[in-house]
Amino acid sequence: MPGPAQFLLQTPILLRRAASVDSLHCINYDSVENGWMNNTARERGIKVLQQMLGSEAAEQTRETWRALSPDFERYVIEFLSGEIWSRPGLERRVKSLVTIAALTAFGRPQGLELNIRMALRNGASREDITETLLQIAPYVGFPACWEGLSIAARVFAAEPNASPNESQDGNQT
């Protein structure tokens, strides 16, 4: 049975062979030879990140990611922001609350802080965020909930006037 390392070595080969799944609003892996994603996903990802953080904070965040690794910034913008966050089906407010729950469960404080800030702009209230964290306490542990609540309190204090953004189509973004 192949191990994880062998799978990772074969992943580029598998991606080149994968069929396009654009009709499902997913990644078109047929474009691997021309770069991981196309410019449309990148442009969409930049726009979504700007809507969720504000233009200045989005650029500062992208600069931080690029300083760590230009590839990391590209993956986050093109795949996470340009594909996952751009999918239809769930409102961004709901996506934010689900993301907050997952990041709390996995103990990812940097991602949690960023996503709490984004959630406030995506239409989630402080109460929504607090209740999400309280709801997951028995499932992920009270220490994880406590850490999440502490991070949320710091974000709330730093952004006292944070309010949801209205998108051009009138939906909460």
> pLDDT by residue (tens digit) across 106-150?
999 999 999 999 999 999 999 999 999 999 999 999 999 999 999
**Cα 114 off chain centre by:** 9
pLDDT value of position 160: 77
Domains with residue ranges and CATH for the chain: 15-84 (no CATH), 92-158 (1.20.1290.10)
pLDDT given at position 162: 65
How many other C-beta atoms lie within 10 A of the C-beta of residue 129? 23
Predicted local confidence at residue 33, as pLDDT: 41
- So what's the pLDDT on residue 164? 53
Sequence-ordered list of residues with C-beta below 8 angstroms from that of 125, at least 6 positions apart, any chain: none
pLDDT digits (tens, 9 = 90+) for 1-48: 455 444 444 444 444 434 333 333 444 444 444 444 456 999 999 999
Contacts of 27 (CB under 8 A, 6+ apart): 21, 37, 41, 79, 83
Cα dihedral sign, 21-22-26-31:
positive
Q: What is residue 38's predicted lDDT score, i.e. its pLDDT?
A: 55
